[in-house]
Amino acid sequence: MRPAVKFALVLFASLALAQSVPDLEGVWQPQQNNAMFSVLPHAPGFLLGTGSKTGIVEGGVLPYQPWAAERVKYRLDHMDMDPTGHCHYEGVPHAMYFPFQLFQTGTDIAMVFENMHAYRIIHMQGQHPKDGYQAWMGDSRGHWEGKTLVVDVANNNDKSVFDMAGHFHTDALHVVERFTPIDHDNIAYDVTLDDPKAFTRPFKMHFSFKRAPKTFQIMEAGCFEGERDQVHFNDTVKLSEHYDHELNSEAGAAKKDGK
Amino acid sequence: MPSRQLLIALLAFASAGFAQTKPPYAAPRTIDGKPDLQGIWMTRNAASFDVSEVAESRQIPYLPEALEREQKGDRVDPIAHCSMPGVPRITYMPFPIQIMQRPGYVVFLYEYQHDHRIVQTNSRAHLDDIDFYLGDSVGHWEGETLVIDVTNLNDKTWLDSARHTHSDQLHVVERYTRLGPDVIAYEATIEDPKTYSRPWKIAMPLHRITEAGFELREQECLEGDSGRAIHPPYRPAPKY
Amino acid sequence: MKSKFLMLAACAALLTAALPALAHHSFAAEYDINKPCKMTGVVTKFDLTNPHSWIYIDVKDEKGNVVNWGFETAGPNSLYRRGYKKGMIMPGTTVTIQGYLAKDGSHTGNAHNVIFEDGKVIPLGSETNPG
């Protein structure tokens, strides 16, 4: 083969390899099945939502340890404890139930949300801080595995929650997200969560993102500025009496099956 | 053999060449050929206490009736209730700012209260009939300078903690020009026909944070009792 | 004016698939799904604020006393995307609000629909509220 042809082939191949990292940029709308109300299947009307037949948790059960399942029930009966009503950050993956615009450079990927004027910086280099730093949104470090963006989220605090249904976690939470483009307009979102202080085993969540229409842009949205609800929060209705919290634990689910 | 006069003229010309100023700094380019403003930047001045520190002639040209209105108005800084600080105050809050750039966009990620501004640089029209704390920003490039036109600002912010207020007619034009590897010149023209007798300017450098491995961290605001903002600790002091 | 309301109704139909823009809430901490309400009154104020806008109406009770009620609606960004602009609901307009009452007995509710005297409906609830 002539040297010039060889050179051209090598150049083409290296360019092709350089292009192989997918472009995930754009504005994305999560198809999240009302996960903000509960990540588990729930009936319409629960927490004034429109319900979800499947939820987003694989298997439809959150494997809480018995003490934690009781804690979920307590939180459901004391809704004032829900941080989403107090203009707090959602954390990961809760923040991902809301639309965002993704910007991608070699060193950082930014996800910029309208909700809570939040953003996530996915660092494509460096390590999780080891100085005791804890954050509502954790610390995110990303890398590519073929066409999948894999994000490791650590340094989570114990205050963010998965939804409005009392489903909490501790600061031992470790999350691994996988963003896999299905086609130009859809990204599959798979999450593995591990929190040995509250759960009996790791568990998974899944939903997807759909590309937003061009007319949809991320705008500013404040929370503290116009907040008028907190003064009305109260616990006069015990929601756990109306919701089978036993579905939150595998022990509870097994009990239901008569094992 | 050159005449004496010609020799003097040649020497004068040569020395004038050495005395000429260097050409203005041209920033490295992004993939779409725009000046690269990316990095983590922060101001170093007292503007967040009193913006007249960085104003031309250190004066704010108030209309007398506007000053009177201000003196009779609220005395609690809106940021004490965890409100967004508005524009241009968000730029000179003493916290780092990360700038990211992609074709058609400049994205400002502020460490202060995790505020952000997505600026399109394709001169799109302003949004109609909706106002924001940080306004609606439309950008375009003029040579080395990013120019951002900010409208749709509400009247609920102060320009600093010294209670310099404005109306909902506030209009700000920002200019960001990279002067060197570690400096961006920031200028803002501020006009508000209900508050000021004429437009006025502020100017300050934005300095790059050069500390190795420096990253933005999550800075949160909590509303404490009696509506006093609390910012929990989030960045440990360095160990020496 | 008529065509604006028709457009809003059409936009709302497209939005019935849940697409929450904002999370702030503990709906169940504040409102009771077992206390639906339907109230007619005169608009005194419509505050477009995040996280939720608030519509205030003067309602006459059985004794003829006027009580001012505040109803929470979707935030301004969601309303803006549905075609709603400032000034579309003016003080002095008579409206009927369908929604849910607050648990604490205050004159507060969560609005799902606003119905005008000519029968036109503007859905002002957050997208994920049930019908």
Q: What is the pLDDT of residues B115-162, one digit of tens each?
A: 999 999 988 999 988 999 999 999 999 999 999 999 999 999 999 999
What range does the domain containing B180 cover? 39-211
Q: Which residues of C touch B (CB under 8 A)?
A: 48, 76-77, 80, 85-86
Residues near B152 by beta carbon (within 8 Å), at least 6 away in sequence: B126, B127, B130, B131, B132, B135, B136
Chain A touched by C83 (CB under 8 Å):
no
How many CB atoms sit inside 10 A of residue B84's CB? 26
Q: Which residue has the tokens 């009305």?
A: A232
Cβ of B100 and A25 within 8 Å? no
Minimal-distance CA residue of chain B relative to A230: B223
pLDDT the model gives residue B218: 96
- Tens-place pLDDT, residues A215-245: 999 999 988 888 777 777 777 777 777 666 4
Distance CA C35, CA C50 (A): 25
Per-residue pLDDT tens over the stretch B175-227: 999 999 999 999 999 999 999 999 999 999 999 999 999 999 999 888 876 66
Is residue A109 pLDDT above 80, yes or no?
Answer: yes
Q: pLDDT per residue over B4-61, tens digit each?
A: 766 665 665 555 555 556 678 899 999 999 999 999 999 999 999 999 999 998 999 9
The pLDDT of residue B9: 58
Q: Is the pLDDT of residue B98 over 70?
A: yes
Q: Residue A222: its chain C contacts at CB < 8 A?
A: 49-51
**Structural domain total, chain B:** 1
Q: What is the CATH number of the domain that holds B160?
A: 2.40.128.20
Judged against a pLDDT cut of 80, whether residue A12 lies above it is answered with: no
Q: Which of C4, C53, C82, C86 to mutate: most B Cβ within 10 Å?
A: C86
**Res A185: pLDDT:** 98
Substitution target in B114, B129, B225 with the highest count of A β-carbons within 10 Å is B114
What pLDDT does B34 receive?
A: 97
Chain B contact partners (≥3 CB pairs within 8 A): A, C
Residue % of chain A over a pLDDT of 70:
86
Confidence at residue A3, expressed as pLDDT on a 0 to 100 scale: 72
- Count Cβ–Cβ pairs < 8 Å, chain B vs chain C: 10
Give the residue on B whose Cα is nearest the Cα of A110: B100
Helix, strand, coil share (%) of chain A residues, nearest 5: 25, 30, 45
The radius of gyration of chain B from alpha carbons, rounded to an integer in Å, stands at 22
Sequence-distant (≥ 6) Cβ neighbours of residue A246 within 8 angstroms = A69, A252, A253, A255, A256
Residue B34 is assigned to a structural domain of this protein: no
- Residue B91 included in any domain: yes
Q: How far is C68 from chain B (nearest CA, A)?
A: 25
Assess whether pLDDT exceeds 80 at residue A255. Answer: no
Place of tokens 């609920």: B156
- For domain C2-16+25-123, the question of CATH label 3.30.1180.20 is answered with no
What pLDDT does C49 receive?
85
Q: CA of C29, closest CA in chain A: separation in Å?
A: 5
Domain boundaries in chain A? 26-256
With a cut of 50, say whether residue A254 has pLDDT above it: yes
C23/A228 CB distance under 8 A: no
Is C86 within 8 Å of B128 when comparing Cβ atoms? no
- DSSP code per residue over B48-64: TT-GGGGBGGG---B-H
Distances from the Cα of B53 to the Cα of B59, B62, B196, C63, angstroms: 9, 16, 17, 61
Predicted TM-score of the model (pTM): 0.88
Q: How far is Cα B90 from Cα B84, in angstroms, rounded to an integer?
A: 8
Domain ranges of chain C: 2-16+25-123
* Residue-by-residue pLDDT tens, chain C, 131 positions: 444 444 444 433 333 334 566 766 777 778 888 889 999 999 999 988 888 889 999 999 889 999 999 999 888 898 888 777 777 788 999 999 999 898 888 999 988 888 888 888 877 776 543 32
What was the pLDDT predicted at A212?
A: 96
Q: Is position B5 within any domain? A: no
Residues in B whose CB is inside 8 Å of some CB of C read 127-130
Residue C81 touches chain A, beta carbons under 8 Å: yes
Nearest to B105 among A89, A103, A121 (CB): A103
